[in-house]
Amino acid sequence: MRAIILSSGMIPKSETNGGDDMADIAKKISKLDEKIGKLKER
């Protein structure tokens, strides 16, 4: 699922450059995972 999110361009490519930005991406992905989890619970 995470690979799909990254490859689909939901996260701007400019944010994938540099190590510090990876932490921000991880936070965004975890938030998306939470949203997906809530949708699955319904």
Q: Kindly give, in sequence order, each residue whose CB lies less than 8 Å from that of residue 6, ignoring residues fewer than 6 positions away.
A: 16, 25
Predicted local confidence at residue 37, as pLDDT:
86
pLDDT per residue, tens digit, the chain (42 aa), is 556 555 555 555 555 555 566 778 788 888 988 888 888 877
Q: Give the count of domains, the chain.
A: 1
Predicted local confidence at residue 8, as pLDDT:
55
Distance CA 18, CA 24 (A): 11
Single-letter amino acid code for the residue at 21? D
Residue 34: give the domain boundaries.
2-41
Predicted local confidence at residue 36, as pLDDT:
84
Predicted local confidence at residue 39, as pLDDT:
84
Q: Kindly give, in sequence order, each residue whose CB lies less than 8 Å from that of residue 33, ignoring residues fewer than 6 positions away.
A: 1, 2
Q: Kindly give, in sequence order, each residue whose CB lies less than 8 Å from that of residue 22, ignoring residues fewer than 6 positions away.
A: 16
42: tokens are 């319904």
Global pTM value: 0.42
